[in-house]
């Protein structure tokens, strides 16, 4: 029992092969970009997620990287085989190749959709988990040295407090040192260090609105 085949002309096959090669090359380019983004995500965010969350910061990057590597290999091999086979390949063999390539493309499409769903699900559940992790870490800031190191690393890396949600890491900056020495290197107001240690609401940063500490 062979592969299903449709009787089409050689010229139509040539056109289909050229289109398939183009799609494979484009797919390889986008897969390479996806690999780069996966590595970038792991380095810029993933390592810090591990500090204050039960979630694995490598999961999203890992899923993206695996899918991208498989897609790159498949697209590259498909483009190469199509390019090499057509000049000397028989009509039946070319049609079989097109069928195999179509199946592979469908499998990759399903894998990409599944990876997108995993990323969406993971990111939504990760938001609250990250927020709770920061709050728990700040509550232990004065007693647990490892929690202090982790929170300081987060503050230094993202330059904001994250007292409301992790999005603040990207949009809120700490109070500028230009306020006359009231802000030490750890970005908290000297006169309220004890408050900051015991409650996340005591962390002073610009732009939060609520949860700001008043300067006496």
Residues pairing with 174 in the sheet: 205
pLDDT in the model for residue 216:
34
Q: Which of 145, 143, 123 is nearest to 53 (CA)?
A: 123
Let me know: does 83 contact 21? Beta carbons within 8 Å.
Answer: yes
In the chain, pLDDT over 90 holds for what percent of residues? 0
Three-state DSSP class for residue 9: coil
How far apart (Å, rounded) are the C-alpha atoms in residues 202 and 155?
A: 15
Residues 186/189/191/196 CA torsion (nearest 10 deg): -70
Per-residue pLDDT reduced to its tens digit, 143-186: 878 777 777 777 766 655 554 555 555 554 555 555 554 444 44
Q: What is the mean pLDDT of residues 182-210?
A: 42
Unique residue bearing structure tokens 């092969």 = 17
How far apart (Å, rounded) are the C-alpha atoms in residues 19 and 99?
A: 14
Phi-psi region of 6 (alpha: psi -120 to 50; beta: other; left: phi over 0): beta
Parse the chain into domains and list their residue ranges: 10-136, 160-202
For the chain, give the mean pLDDT. Answer: 64
Q: What is the mean pLDDT of residues 93-118?
A: 75
Per-residue pLDDT reduced to its tens digit, 40-94: 767 666 656 655 555 566 667 777 777 777 777 777 777 777 677 666 656 667 6
Determine whether 162 is exposed, middle or buried from the number of CB atoms within 10 Å of its CB (0-12, 13-18, 19+): buried
Per DSSP, which regions of 18-103 are E strands? none
């Amino acid at each position: 029992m062979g592969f299903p085949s449709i009787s089409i002309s050689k010229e139509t096959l040539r056109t289909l092969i050229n289109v398939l090669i183009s799609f494979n090359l484009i797919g390889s380019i986008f897969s390479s970009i996806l690999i780069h983004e996966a590595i970038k995500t792991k380095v810029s965010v993933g390592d810090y997620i591990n500090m204050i969350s039960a979630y694995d910061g490598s999961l999203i990057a890992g899923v993206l990287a695996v899918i991208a590597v498989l897609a790159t290999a498949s697209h590259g091999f498909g483009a190469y085989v199509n390019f090499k086979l057509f000049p000397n390949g028989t009509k039946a063999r070319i049609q079989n190749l097109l069928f195999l390539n179509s199946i592979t493309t469908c499998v990759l499409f399903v894998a990409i959709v599944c990876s997108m769903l995993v990323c969406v699900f993971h990111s939504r559940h990760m938001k609250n988990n990250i927020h709770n992790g920061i709050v728990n870490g700040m509550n232990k800031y004065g007693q647990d040295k490892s929690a202090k190191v982790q929170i300081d690393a987060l503050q230094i890396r993202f330059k904001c407090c994250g007292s409301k949600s992790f999005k603040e890491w990207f949009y809120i900056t700490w109070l500028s040192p230009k306020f006359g020495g009231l802000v030490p290197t750890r970005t908290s107001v000297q006169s309220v260090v004890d408050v900051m240690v015991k409650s996340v609401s005591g962390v002073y940063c610009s732009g939060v609105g609520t949860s700001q500490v008043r300067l006496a």
